[in-house]
Homo-oligomer: A and B are copies of this chain.
Amino acid sequence: MAGEPTDHALERLVFFSDAVFAIAITLLVIEVHVPHVAHGSGDAAYLQALAYLIPNFIGFIVSFAVIGLFWAGHHRAFSLARRYDGGVVPWNLMLLGTIAFMPFVTAFVSAHQGARVPAVLYWSWLLLTAALNLKVNSFATRPPMVAPDLPPETAAAVRRRSRSVVLGAATAFAIAWIVPVAAPVGMATMPLWRWLLGRRVKRS
């Protein structure tokens, strides 16, 4: 559809993406089911019922942080774009598809804490999401989409950040095979990867 690359088309793409991010992040709560405690039970019974849901709370927090992180990255990358390019649409839709599916993998891993298959599925899903995120954010911060007057270093920093998310997800994925419960720790390596990628740039 050459000929009508307007700012308006870019805005609508960003808007649609924001809406999907916002809905997926808010739908996470639906998978945390309310426990049934018998009428007239003491406080201990309620506390026990809540304790039983701890894996679900952790799942909610981890996935909320992860989707929030992807949204913040998308937000940052597209704030540097000025022109719409139709080529980004299929990649962006695939990214939104992986985000929209997060409530399922979250609920699956929360319901079977410590099991290997759900953890590996969760973190491989995140690795796929991170790879699509890198693709989309690179698209938005390169010609023809990127603002022409943007310092190349700013665009490079966005891509470096997206790459560090891929490496963090890969680390979590590797841990999930061995100690499923400890996999979220892998995401905490992200700042390390970002620092390493930043150093490599400075050296060259």
- What residues make up the interface of A, taking CB atoms closer than 8 Å to B? 1, 3-4, 6, 8-9, 12-16, 18-32, 34-37, 39, 41, 43, 46-47, 50, 60-61, 64-65, 68, 71-72, 75-76, 78-80, 89, 93, 96-97, 100-104, 107-108, 111-112, 115-118, 121, 150-151, 154, 157-158
Given A117-B50, A154-B3, A100 contacting B12 (CB threshold 8 A): no
Q: Cβ of A112: which chain B residues have Cβ within 8 Å of it?
A: 37, 39, 46
Is B21 touching A23 in the complex (CB atoms < 8 A)? Answer: no
Is B79 touching A9 in the complex (CB atoms < 8 A)? Answer: yes
A79 to B84, CA, bound (A): 11
A15's nearest neighbour on chain B, judged by CB, is: B18
**Oligomer: number of copies:** 4
Distance from A124 Cβ to chain B, minimum over Cβ atoms (Å):
12
Is B3 touching A117 in the complex (CB atoms < 8 A)? Answer: no
A128 to B102, CA, bound (A): 26
Is B18 touching A16 in the complex (CB atoms < 8 A)? Answer: yes
A23's nearest neighbour on chain B, judged by CB, is: B26
Is B50 touching A12 in the complex (CB atoms < 8 A)? Answer: no
Distance from A161 Cβ to chain B, minimum over Cβ atoms (Å):
9
Q: Cβ of A37: which chain B residues have Cβ within 8 Å of it?
A: 112, 115
Q: Cβ of A13: which chain B residues have Cβ within 8 Å of it?
A: 75
Is A29 touching B103 in the complex (CB atoms < 8 A)? Answer: yes
Q: Cβ of A21: which chain B residues have Cβ within 8 Å of it?
A: 16
- When A and B form their complex, which 4 residue pairs have the shortest distance between CB atoms, in order from nearest? A46-B117, A19-B22, A23-B26, A68-B93
Is B34 touching A104 in the complex (CB atoms < 8 A)? Answer: yes
